[in-house]
Amino acid sequence: MTETTGTTASRTTASPTAHTPHTRSRRETVFELLDEVLAPLDSAVPERPSPMEFLDPEFRLPAALREGPPPDTGDLAAEAEQYTKVVGDMAAMGLLPEGEVTPAAVALYRTLRAGHIRGVVTGVFADRAEPLQVRFFGDRDCATVLNVVGGEVLLRSGSLRGLPQWAFDDIRDVPRGPGGFVELHADEHGGLPEEAADTVEMIRRSTARPRHGTVLVELIVRDRVRVEYPRGAFVLFDNDIGRYFLGTSVSERGHWVLQYAPAGRAHAERWVEHAALG
C-alpha cells in the first residue's frame, strides 16, 4: 500500500462522520465501505488510543542513562533533576518493579516516549469476551509491545526485528477466504468509479457475511502516517468463509486507492515489516 501523510489525506473532503446513507443512485466511496467493515469494531471499541500515545516530543535521557561514558561538562543540577524526573516517570509506568534502573528498562522506556515506530492493533472476535488491544513501539534497535488483557497491561520488549510478529501474536491464524486481489482507484474525495459498481457490490457482500472477527491496524513511522483511520486503513476481517484484507491509502496524485484480497495473519506481519522496518 502507498504510504499516506497527514498533509496528503487532508486534501480529501469526505469524512467518515459525514457520510450519507448508502444508495445505488450515487457513487460509492471508500469511506462507506470502511465504515461497514469496521462497524462491529466501532460498536465494541468506540474510542481507540492514538499511535502517538506516550510520545514525548521533548524526550531526553539524562547523561547517566545514556549509552557510553557521560560527558565531562554540563549542568549537573539540571542533569540530576532530569534523572529524577525520568526515573520517577519510569516507576509510575511500572517499568521498575524491583526498583532498579536496568538497561532493558531504559530501552523499553525510550521506545515508549520517543520510538519512531508507533502502532495500535484493535480487534473484536466472536469467540472472545473482550476486545484485543495492542500497542507497539520501536526505535533503532528495540521493540516494545503492550497488550491490555483483563484490565492489566502486559509488556514485552526485545529486538526490533521481532516487532511485526509480536504485534499480531494474539490473533489466531485463519484460512484465507476464496477470491483474488482487487484494487480500485477512487478520486481525491474517495468516490469510486461507476464502472466498478459490480466489484464494489462483491466486496460489500463479503463484508456483510456472518462476521467472526475484525482487526484494525494503525501505524505511524517517523511522523509519517502509514495508516491511521480515516487517513488510510489496514483491516483484516474474518467472515464465515475465511479471512480478508481491506485497505485504503492515498496515491502520489492525492487520489484514494482501495485494496481487497484474501489474507492471512502473515499478510499483516509482512506489511508492518515493510512499512516500519523496510
Contact between 262 and 239 (Cβ < 8 Å): no
Q: What is the pLDDT of residues 109-158, one digit of tens each?
A: 999 999 999 999 999 999 999 999 999 999 988 999 999 887 788 888 89
pLDDT the model gives residue 18: 38
Helical ranges in 45-75 per DSSP H: none
Q: What gap in Å lies between CA 78 and CA 256, rounded to an integer?
A: 49
DSSP H/E element including 213: strand 211-221
Average pLDDT score over the chain: 86
Q: What gap in Å lies between CA 87 and CA 101, rounded to an integer?
A: 8
> What's the start-to-end Cα distance of the chain, in Å?
13
The per-residue DSSP string of 43-95 comes to HH-SS---TTTT--TT----GGGSSSPPPS-S-HHHHHHHHHHHHHHHHHTT-
Contact between 109 and 92 (Cβ < 8 Å): no
The one-letter amino acid at 176? R
Q: Which pLDDT band holds residue 197 (cuts at 50, 70, 90)? A: very high
Query: Out of 155-159, 170-174, 228-232, 246-250, which region has the weakest mean confidence (pLDDT)?
Result: 228-232
Instruction: Look at the block and give the residue holding cell 477466504.
Output: 177
- The domain ranges of the chain are 6-49+117-142+169-277, 56-114
Neighbours of 234 (CB within 10 A): 27
Decide if pLDDT at 23 tops 50: no
Q: What gap in Å lies between CA 105 and CA 112, rounded to an integer?
A: 11
Helical axes 30-44 vs 197-208, angle rounded to 10°: 10
Phi–psi pair at 179, nearest 5 degrees:
115, -175
Q: What gap in Å lies between CA 24 and CA 18, rounded to an integer?
A: 18
Whether residue 230 is preceded by a cis peptide bond, meaning omega within 30 degrees of 0, is yes
Residues in the chain, total: 278
